[in-house]
Structure 1
């Protein structure tokens, strides 16, 4: 269910969705049992606005050997902040707030195209998918599975499940390696320049320092600079599995 199909009126732009997610009344409707961590399907309402969303409370996070405990929700929010700064609308509106099971990540629910063939999608060379590949390189996404892509009927593609991003170590694992070593598109270079500026002296840098460690923010900045210096999509690491398992 999208915000628009939840019958809140003419639809929410991202700014209105963010306000609703921050201030609305959050009610749990069910649990997504296939998720590794506690992931709750909820409704959120304020006045005549109503939307569906996903709520991942910190207390429901399973410990990981390579990420600090209790940090996944903040990483999801940081991933949204980077996505928002690109202007590509790659991640649904996402906030960190209190909820029925304590603080956690709350993200607008997006209805993907039910007819989409995800395996065919990830083998394609769609420009929207290439933007996602650049974005994943910036946030150091350790788990870009096909099932973490939400293609819409209009061709737009969202990405979700960004709890294992922003490690200081290179952990990029993705199903989107078809551009490895290829020159970055001019559009991507322009966006990366903007990200570098925003991390150095803009809102993005300040916001990331609220959500991540100083070392993780510095590592993110370094990844942006490396992409600009090399001018190409990264190659898989020889020290880390290139593709997540299962890939779907």
Structure 2
């Protein structure tokens, strides 16, 4: 969704460079519109700090969360924030800045909007069109540099293959999903920003203590995790193993101690094995995958 409103110009406060998280936490939220395709109430807003400082963002109020049978009610916004804190602690910048705060419809999650070629005011020409990082294609047309994940049939009964790019930015996201125990990594939750980074969004059903990993990014199953990612995960595990660590205290505001312990174990397993897991036998891919 691209709201039909002027795109704001972001600028730092005079004399100080405000972080995205600070702006999202302190600015006044002005609702611009709703994303109707989202399963939970998802509002596009401008976070306006002053005349010179504003940021486009997404606001998901807790009161708009749809209850789930396997996740406690009212916890999805907190799980989104906790997922960002973990990505940030790893230094990966895989999840846009995300905070938990009050808003026009009550407490909820507020996350920086990711500008992509699909939602920008200046999209790429049609001649520049290319396959998305996660996409469907005919079985005989899997692009070079892409990994096939699943063969299926489209709504018209035609055979298709679910593919994703063999891209280190996407591989880092796949590793993060293992750590987060992401139960809903769909293709539409992968955004290639205009800044050249690849971002993951919609982490409301992550960090459960039971194994619930469901993702479209199975192309690296059973393969070695790159060494620099393993080293950063090992450092994360060390921080999580310290009961009084600042990171654990931050996470404890959003998820339970059992969930933090399960997160710690997942980080230790990945750091020690340095290997991506194989898909489980039951429902390894979220459905629909987009």
Question: What is the TM-score when the length of structure 1 is the normalising length?
Answer: 0.92
Residue 116 of structure 1, CA deviation: 5.8
Question: Greater relative contact order (Cα 8 A, min sep 6): structure 1 or 2?
Answer: 1
Shift of residue 113 of structure 1?
2.6
Q: Which has the higher strand share?
A: 2
Aligned to 2:159: none
* Number of residue pairs aligned between Structure 1 and Structure 2: 243
> Alpha-carbon deviation of 1:15?
5.8
Counterpart for residue 179 of structure 1: 220
In the other structure, the counterpart of 2:131 is 117
Q: Deviations over 1:176-200 (max 9, x none)?
A: 0111111111011111111112212
Query: Residue in 1 aligned with 2:76?
Result: 72
How many Å apart are 1:153 and its aligned residue?
Answer: 3.8
The whole-number CA distance in structure 2 between the counterparts of 1:116 and 1:38 is 31
Question: Cα gap change, 1:134/1:14 in structure 2, threshold over 3 Å: closer, same or farther?
Answer: farther
Q: Is the 8 A contact 1:113 1:150 kept in 2?
A: no
Equivalent-residue separation in structure 1 for 2:130 and 2:67 (angstroms): 33
- Does residue 44 in structure 1 map to residue 47 in structure 2? yes
Which of 197, 208, 222 is equivalent to 2:251?
208
Q: Greater helix share, 1 or 2?
A: 1
Higher mean C-alpha displacement, 197-206 vs 176-185: 197-206
User: 206, 210, 218: which one pairs with 1:169?
Assistant: 210
Tell me the equivalent position of 1:94.
98
The offset of 1:117, in angstroms, is 3.0
For residues 27 and 200 of structure 1, the distance between their equivalents in structure 2, rounded to whole angstroms, comes to 40
**Match of 2:155?**
none
User: Any stretches of 5+ residues in structure 2 without a counterpart?
Assistant: 119-128, 136-145, 147-162
CA RMSD across the alignment: 2.0
The partner residue of 1:20 within 20, 23, 47 is 23
So what's the TM-score if we normalise by structure 2? Answer: 0.79
2:63 is matched with: 59
Which residue of structure 2 lines up, in the alignment, with residue 103 of structure 1?
Answer: 107
Higher Cα Rg: structure 1 or 2? 2
Taking a change above 3 Å as real, the CA distance of residues 58 and 242 of structure 1, as seen in their structure-2 partners, is same
User: How do residues 219-234 of structure 1 correspond to structure 2 at under 5 angstroms?
Assistant: 219-234=262-277
Which stretch of structure 1 is more off in the superposition, 15-24 or 150-159? 150-159
